[in-house]
């Protein structure tokens, strides 16, 4: 069962920072999950929200700032917002990277960056899973490069996610863990999809979800898995 660290090891370090991804590696996570938006000059930025207000000392919408401007804001007074390239280089194939597409325009940029690492840096497509709640972005990703592994994110009825996963030949389904039971997990797995629920943090929930034989769990505390 894959232990995937949510926004890095968010339970221990500031989310989506190099420090949190380093912590996830220290905790021997099998994968990290992160969120991406674009800067105004087209760089892929690792941050959860559309704005920088909650996580940095600045205010404003991520895609209205250039990379240089975004780098001037600090998280917890210390850390810069990372680019996706910086995270790839830190991880250096040591674990799976689950890239959640959040912002407009992210699909084509992320596909291009994955292709660069696969073609020029000896990485494999299996080193990445691209997920999103925005299924149009997943369709775009799959149209651009059908080798890229896709995870269909859902917090609503599973039937729709399953149908869409079949349509685009996804690799995995990433459901809100509260939607799961042993029957529907089995149903997804029988169709050859990995089941990777989020965000499971409490011991009791971890035990329950594990009893459904899921393929992995996304958690703020990967060491609890
Ligand atoms: O990928 C699973 C999970 O990260 C989705 O929710 O809001 O934490 O991005 P959120
Ligand atoms: Ca996410």
Q: Tell me the pLDDT tens digit for each residue of 88-102.
A: 999 999 999 999 999
Catalytic residue among 37, 43, 48, 174, which? 48
Instruction: Give pLDDT, residue 26.
Output: 98
Q: What is the 100 CA–ligand 2 centroid distance (Å)?
A: 6
Helix (H, G, I), strand (E, B), or coil: what is residue 175? Answer: strand
Looking at the CA of residue 33, tell me the nearest atom of ligand 1.
Answer: 1
111 DSSP assignment = H
Residue 171 CB–ligand 1 contact under 6 Å: no
Closest CA to 24 of 35, 37, 10: 10
Spans of the chain, pLDDT less than 70 = none
Instruction: Give pLDDT, residue 97.
Output: 99
Known catalytic membership, residue 174:
no
Question: How far is the CA of 63 from the CAs of 4, 19, 43, in angstroms?
Answer: 27, 23, 9
Residue 60 sits at φ, ψ, to 5 deg, of 135, 175
Residue 174 CB–ligand 1 contact under 6 Å: yes
Closest CA to 137 of 127, 147, 152, 125: 152
Residue 65 CB–ligand 1 contact under 6 Å: no
The ligand placed nearest to the CA atom of residue 129 is 1
Q: What is the dihedral of CA 182, 192, 167, 169, to 10 degrees?
A: 140
For residues 101 and 130, the answer to whether their CB atoms sit within 8 Å is yes
Q: Tell me the pLDDT tens digit for each residue of 188-203.
A: 999 999 999 999 999 9
Interface confidence: ipTM more than 0.95:
yes
Known catalytic membership, residue 6:
yes
Q: What is the 218 CA–ligand 1 centroid distance (Å)?
A: 9
Six-digit token pair at 76?
């917890």
Instruction: Give pLDDT, residue 157.
Output: 82
Q: What is the 102 CA–ligand 1 centroid distance (Å)?
A: 10
Instruction: Give pLDDT, residue 103.
Output: 85
């Amino acid at each position: 069962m894959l232990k995937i660290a949510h926004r890095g090891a968010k339970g221990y370090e500031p989310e989506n920072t190099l420090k949190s991804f380093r912590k996830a590696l220290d905790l021997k996570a099998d994968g990290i999950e992160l969120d991406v938006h674009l800067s105004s000059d087209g760089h892929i930025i690792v941050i959860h929200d559309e704005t920088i207000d909650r996580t940095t000392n600045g205010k404003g919408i991520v895609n209205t700032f250039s990379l240089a401007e975004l780098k001037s804001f600090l998280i917890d007074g210390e850390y810069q917002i990372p680019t996706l390239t910086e995270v790839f280089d830190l991880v250096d194939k040591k674990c799976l990277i689950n890239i959640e597409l959040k912002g407009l325009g992210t699909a084509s940029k992320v596909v291009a960056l994955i292709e660069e690492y696969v073609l020029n840096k000896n990485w494999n497509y299996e080193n990445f899973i691209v997920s999103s709640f925005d299924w149009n972005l997943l369709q775009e990703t799959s149209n651009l490069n059908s080798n890229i592994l896709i995870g269909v994110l859902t917090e609503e009825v599973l039937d729709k996610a399953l149908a869409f996963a079949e349509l685009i030949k996804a690799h995995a389904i990433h459901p809100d863990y509260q939607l799961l039971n042993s029957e529907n997990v089995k149903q997804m797995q029988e169709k050859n999809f990995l089941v990777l629920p989020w965000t499971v943090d409490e011991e009791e929930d971890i035990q329950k979800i594990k009893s459904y034989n899921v393929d992995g769990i996304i958690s703020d505390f990967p060491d609890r898995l």
